[in-house]
Structure 1
Amino acid sequence: MKSINLIIILLSIALLFSCTSKQVTSPGARHKDDPGYDIFQKAEKQFNSQSYEKALKIYQTYLENYPEGQMAPACILKIGSILSHEGNYKEARRQFDTLIKKYPANFFIPDARVEYLFTYYKEGSYQDVVDGADKMMEGLPASYQLRMNMLKGDAYMAMNLPVEALFSYIKTEIDLKSPEGKNATSRIKGAIALLDASDIISILHRVEDNRTLGFLMFQLGRNYADEGNAEDALKILSGFIAGFPNHENVPEAQQIIEEMNTRSRSANFIVGCLLPLSGPYKTFGEKALKGIEIALSNLEDLRVRSKIKLIIKDTGSDPELTVKAVRELNEENAVAIIGPITTPQAGAEEAQALKIPIIVLSQKSDLVDIGDYVFRNFITPEMQVKALAEYIFNELDLNRFAILYPDEKYGETFMNLFWDEVIQYGGKVVGVEPYNISHTDFSGPIKKLIGLYYPMSEDFMKTKGIARMKAGEEPEAIVDFDAIFIPEASAKAGLIVPQLSYNDITNVHLLGTNLWHSDVIIKMAKKEAQGAIIPEGFFQNSTLPHVRFFVDRFEETYGETPGFIEAISYDTASILFEIANYAYANAKEGVRKELLKVNHFKGITGDTSFKKNGDAEKELYILKIKGEQFVELEKHYKKFGLHP
């Protein structure tokens, strides 16, 4: 639409000033014999200085005093033009209509007809332009017929009817080297660029002008190339070059052919997508598909985009359907697979058996051990604790830690991983306590961490000087750690954090997992949650340029803010699309080798590389609760030479 709007603006300027600022002298007119000549000249002076309001009044004065004067037609034309310029289109048309009917043979009738029709265009009444153009241009000189046809074509373009617009643009013969000819050519190209292959095929027999026919043939070939239809693209473009050897688009056509000839024996780079588009996890599949679609639409290189073909398969979160889908993708010559999300084991095993590179979107462990064609790109517990440990040891210089974790698989996994990572950095875990996941009162395990849960022996109290406490006093908490790690969901963490301060655990760093990344904990824990630090796989509020580009494009396209699933799918697809031009000789094996070469891919889910075993290494975001929001810490900004 931007090109259409530009055409509208240019046409507005051209019609207003080329028509209304022209010399108003009709052949043989004797101005000085006109008693209103001086009045008219004053009006012209104001008009030429763009003082339209003053000019309007003087033109009207002339007509009031000399309604049959020599310059009356010119005054009416100028009054109509000024009214049109001011947006009073209805009154402007009344003036032009008066001129046309009262002075049918006047020198200014062609201008009046064009201006009359143009008022409909300016007010958006495009159908009125189309309906009135043919009648208005009857008997007009060729130059005015050209302007009428251009206006009619622009109206069709505004109505999103490029075929009709094209035939309006090519209706009048013109010197192609003239300014008008160049202008018409630009419009012709603009209309043709909007035609799809079926449109072009349907109108080729109606075009008699060889130059326009050449534009159409070239566009048809380019459309086929963009669609990945290499066979038809080569036929059409080769025929175009042979039939129109002197056409201006021949060099570009030759370039497209040369590029296609250097591609793989298979014209398409087929990527299968295994997503749960039905069933209980349908939402995740839809989110992933949106991310993949944005990745494809963001490709600036049309050659690459035309090569890539997506084949979407619904797994329904069913292992059997997943295996069936992988087999179908193999039959359809897919060279890579994105997914599955919910049935990764079944999909990975079948893809490995068929030797199709597959990038699963799951944190399930040991998937890459299935074989050398299995890759994984997802945030994992290992990534989270590594990113968290790197930050707290290198940036905060912490050393002593406590772990409070839910007594279930998720909590145990993170507890063990975090503990191991602390040891790797030479730190100490001085307290570890589980809690029952069904409880809402966590005072028991919290007190165990600070030595207040079990009764103290008399001897212990004496050695610690506790016996000297006044009667009724509670012993003080022994907080001998710098930070406490709580691998829990946001809502449960929102219950736990306030109970820490209630039990005198203050002035320690709060550490969580990506599940804390929710407004819930901020609303529940309020000031007690301030300063909490977590790792995250995607931060939609990051100001990093490539993240902002993705988020803005996604919101513009879908009207919603993307989350991690959309982002990881976008990155995964982008990685494959980036290597699309490199895996030619043996497509599947070529893709596998290129994936292993991915090193520090600048993804929106973090800097990404694939290890030799196919698992992704990612540099995660580190977020901190500040006020009523999460903010990104300096780690990534330093990497890209930026500041938060």
Structure 2
Amino acid sequence: MEAHVDPTAPLRRTLRTTLSASLVAALALLLPACPRPASNTASKPGASAPGSEDQTRPPASPFPDRPSVQARKDPAADAALQQAVASAETAPPKQAAQLFLSVRKAYPATTAGQEALYRAGVLFYDSQDYVNARKSFNELLFENPLFPQAQDAKRRLGQAALESGAYRDAYQTLASLAERAEGPEKKQLTEQAMRAAEGAGLYTAALTLAVQQAGEAKDGPERDAAVARVEQLVEGRADFLDIAKVADGLSPKNPAWPVLTFKLARIYNHLRDWNNLESTLNRFLQEAPQSPYAPQARELLARATRRVEVRPNTVGVLLPMTGRYKPFGEAVLKGMQLALQGSNVELVVKDTQGEANLAGQAVEQLAFDEGAIAAVGPLLSDDAKRAAIVAEELQLPILTLTRQEGITDIGPHVFRNMLTNTAQARAIADYAMGQKGMKSFAVLYPNIPYGVELANDFWDEVVQRGGQIRGAESYGFDQTTFTTEAKKLVGRYYLEDRTDYVEGVRDAVEGAQDAFRRRKAIEKLKGNLPPVIDFEGILIPDDWRRVSLVAPALAVEDIVTNACDPRELERIRKTTGREDLKTVTLFGTNQWSSPKGRSGLPELLERGGKFVTCSVFVDGFFVDSARPATQRFVAAFRKANDGRDPGLLEAVGYDAGRMLRQVIEKQHPATREALRDDLAALKDFDGATGKTTFDAKREAQKPLFLIGIDSKGVTELESPAPHASASGS
């Protein structure tokens, strides 16, 4: 019978994205220190985008060079103006302004009309009606830029625009006036133009004016105030590009030069632009050795120089040693310390506390202050990503212990030695299809990122090998009963989709004499309906506690999972009367690994009983493995820890420590780049977690542990295939 499940429907295929080796952190530093308020002045059609022009140059006057109207002398207009002047002396300002506008309207192309328009603008300005003041002055100046009082009109126009929030227009007008002014007037106009530029978001222009003021300051207090203004802009508003534009070509004699130059140095430091950082700081200390910033500059230069000073036997460790993840960090550290016993390799441990920012800072400390030749860790995804980005920027080799997919894509100095979801999916598919010859599978997975990712990865691996996923069902992360999901897998939930059920119902309805008998017949039909089991294995990527509940629910729906013994299978066939009955193998991930219970058996077996026997799961470490290197590690760990068994984290930490010890003691790398090359060339390292080789993407390739479950416990199934991997690359 055809399977009832559309294998593409229940499980959403997720797009995979790999970590790109981008300068995300660096680009973030190019953004302004503070959010820039948007100008409330709309751009005119065809105008350049705000900030696109060269803001380091004073803007041209926004007004035409010559009159657009030839004003004539008119006696009637002159008389009307004189009458308006007389009446305005006793009228309120706005009413007086209207008197002048009446003259303007009556005699538009006259000298008296222009004078009336100017007087109306002054009255509006003095009464703080800046909108009408701007309207009057704009009309006047575009009509006659050579008007006798044009300079005063322009000044008032610029100030009115500033007060009304039309910052871009205000800047254009005031800055062009300041360029031609002198003395106190120039200072005042420059201040106002600077305010306007800030309001318009023209921070290069604002900074240019502030630096200009600093250079023109006459005495100490005035100079200090101007430099303080530059500092305010540099630290609060201007971004990297603003500062770089203004600093370009600026004379060191300008009092603001040290402010801009040291700020540039700090930006280069954040961007890890070491060449520009060192050249900028060296010039700064040469030109301004007495600057208040000089002590910080010397310290920054010394720290930058130390980044290439390496202590060849020092290895940094990035682990959560406090907080909720402390047990994980301690487990890895115990393994590393065991691996380095008797060596001259020194560990410098940095507590990341499970915080990404702290992880990045810790990498900087290892590179700048500790001289570490390499680093190990972190464990957590966000920590590892941040640490890897910083380590790559500093060219510090880092051996991460995270499951984060794509972590090594960040750059050539990033390695990974940790079991990943992709690797587990690949190992299960290799075993089930390559070793056991299976072709069809189902997936029953928790609807959480871990479960979804593993289900997708396994699906891909099966399809790549020519197999099929015949059914896929998800369940809630806190679910404890699985009857519905089990019924769906075997075709006992959507009964209307089954031809045999539809035909059986039709026969029952036709043959029954009354409703009671029809109901009984249908109930009997449902009870006798055989399961549709068109898969040979089921992947359950979940914790062992949940698996011990899922397995019995599958058995209720006649999915036989515990008949790997031919005699047991024959017994079940006779009991059920189904000669065609086939067993289904349950497959799991390292989450199936459980502690020993009271009986000495794994708790998964104690709770799941016979329903989990004959199952197979994969892990990155198996304490009872027959592999010699694993046995040596387990024996040494037990001896050092009062007989306690190690787990995956201890084993991974042990292997990381031994890898670096081997490289340091045998290859004697004197630089970080040499260690990176030696670690990348590591092949067939015989570790507690398997023989390890780093591939071209610096992912640890190693055979995983395949573990079978029977009534006596768990055992390693076979010698690993040489092409299996820990990272899934």
- State the TM-score, normalized to the length of structure 1: 0.54
2:336 is aligned with 1:292? yes
Q: CA deviation at 1:628?
A: 4.0
Give matches, 1:107-122, under 5 Å: none
User: What's the counterpart of residue 373 of structure 2?
Assistant: 335
| Matching residue of 1:277 | 321
State the distance in 2 between where 1:633 and 1:384 align: 15
1:492 corresponds to: 546
Cα deviations by residue, 1:475-509 (Å, 9 ceiling, x for unpaired) = 11111111111111110111000111011111210
Say whether the 8 Å CA contact 1:461–1:467 is kept in structure 2. no
CA distance in 2, matches of 1:287, 1:401: 36
Q: 1:622 is matched with which residue?
A: 706
Distance 1:585 1:564, change over 3 A: closer
Q: Distance in 2 between matches of 1:315 and 1:381?
A: 24
Q: Is the 8 A contact 1:582 1:594 kept in 2?
A: no
Would the alpha carbon gap of residues 583 and 467 (structure 1) be closer, same or farther in structure 2, given more than 3 Å must change? farther
> What is the correspondence of 1:230-241 to structure 2 with a 5 Å cutoff?
none
The amino acid across from 1:542 in the alignment is: S
Deviation at 1:346, TM superposition (A): 1.7
Alignment of 1:462-611 (within 5 A): 472-473=524-525, 474=527, 475-506=529-560, 507-518=583-594, 519-559=602-642, 560-581=644-665, 583-584=667-668, 586-611=670-695
Distance of aligned partners of 1:537 and 1:421 in 2 relative to their CA distance in 1, 3 Å threshold: same
**Residue type of the alignment partner of 1:570:** Y
Unaligned runs of 5+ in 2: 1-308, 509-519, 561-582, 595-601, 724-729
Give the Å deviation of 1:584: 4.5
In structure 2, the CA distance between the partners of 1:427 and 1:396, relative to structure 1 (3 Å rule), is: same
CA drift at 1:532: 0.8
Give the alignment's Cα RMSD to 1 decimal: 2.4
One-letter amino acid of the structure 2 residue matched with residue 620 of structure 1? L
Aligned twin of 1:420: 460
Matched-pair contact (CA < 8 Å) for 1:511–1:533: yes
Q: Which amino acid aligns with 1:512?
A: G
* Corresponding residue of 1:439: 479
Q: CA offset at residue 595 of structure 1?
A: 1.5
Identity %: 33
Query: Do the aligned partners of residues 607 and 464 (structure 1) sit closer, same or farther apart at CA in structure 2, a change above 3 Å counting?
Result: farther
Letter in 2 for 1:516: W
Match of 1:488, SS? coil
The residue type paired with residue 413 of structure 1 is E
What is the match of residue 389 of structure 1? 429
How many residue pairs are counted as aligned between the two chains? 368
Contact 2:312 2:671 in 1 (8 A): no
TM score, norm. by length of structure 2: 0.48
- For the 8 Å contact 1:268–1:309, the answer to whether it is kept is no
Counterpart of 2:314, as a letter, is I
Pick the structure with greater CA Rg: 2
Provide the secondary structure at the position in 1 that maps to 2:354.
coil
Per-residue CA deviations over 1:114-163 (Å, capped at 9, x if unaligned) read: xxxxxxxxxxxxxxxxxxxxxxxxxxxxxxxxxxxxxxxxxxxxxxxxxx
Question: 2:333 is matched by which residue type in structure 1?
Answer: L
Give the counterpart letter for 2:686 in structure 1: K
CA distance in 1, matches of 2:406, 2:628: 34
Question: CA contact under 8 A between 1:383 and 1:617: conserved in structure 2?
Answer: no
Matched, 1:312 2:360: no
* 1:566-616 CA-partner distances (Å, limit 9, x unpaired): 000101111111111455465200111112112222221122221222222
Cα distance in structure 2, aligned partners of 1:484 and 1:279: 37
Matches within 5 A, 1:161-180: none
In 2: Cα distance, 1:638 partner to 1:328 partner:
39
Tell me if the contact between 1:539 and 1:621 (Cα under 8 Å) persists in the aligned partners.
yes
Distance in 1 between residues matched to 2:327 and 2:676, nearest whole Å:
29
2:692 aligns to what SS in structure 1?
strand
CA contact (8 A) 1:544 1:637 kept: no
CA deviation vs aligned residue, 1:416-435 (integer Å, no higher than 9, x gap): 11011011111111111112
**Does 2:449 correspond to 1:449?**
no
